[in-house]
Structures are given as C-alpha cells and as structure tokens.
Amino acid sequence: MTEPQASPTPRTHPVQRWVPVVDGRGRIRMEARWVTAAEATAPALVAPAA
C-alpha cells in the first residue's frame, strides 16, 4: 500500500495546545485551545503581572 506524498502544510493545520488564560479575577488557568501551527510556534504572549 502506498502513502500519498502530498500532505497538507503543517502551518495551516490547527493543533490543540494548552494555553494560560487569565480570568476576570486575575487567576491563571490552563485551557485547551485550537490554534494554528504558526501561532503555536510563535512565542506565547505573557500577561503583565498585576
């Protein structure tokens, strides 16, 4: 059985990543979010400390 060589580019393929989310009370919790691979490889934005 032969595998197709053409595959979708990984940059456009969404991946599920655990990202820190700050709620209204300033608490940080981890949440699973679907992001594109370009966003996943970019450095994460850090919220300023209150």
Whether 26 and 50 have beta carbons less than 8 Å apart is answered as yes
Residue 33 lies in a domain: yes
The pLDDT score that the predictor gives to residue 24 is 85
Residue 30 lies in a domain: yes
- The domain total for the chain is 1
The pLDDT score that the predictor gives to residue 23 is 85
Burial of 42 (0-12, 13-18, 19+ CB in 10 A): exposed
Residue 49 lies in a domain: no
The pLDDT score that the predictor gives to residue 11 is 58
Domain that holds residue 23: 10-41
Residue 4 lies in a domain: no
Residue 21 lies in a domain: yes
Is-above-0.75 flag for pTM? no
- From first to last of the 50 residues of the chain, give the pLDDT tens digit: 566 555 555 556 677 888 888 988 889 999 888 877 666 565 555 555 44
Residue 3 lies in a domain: no
Residue 25 lies in a domain: yes
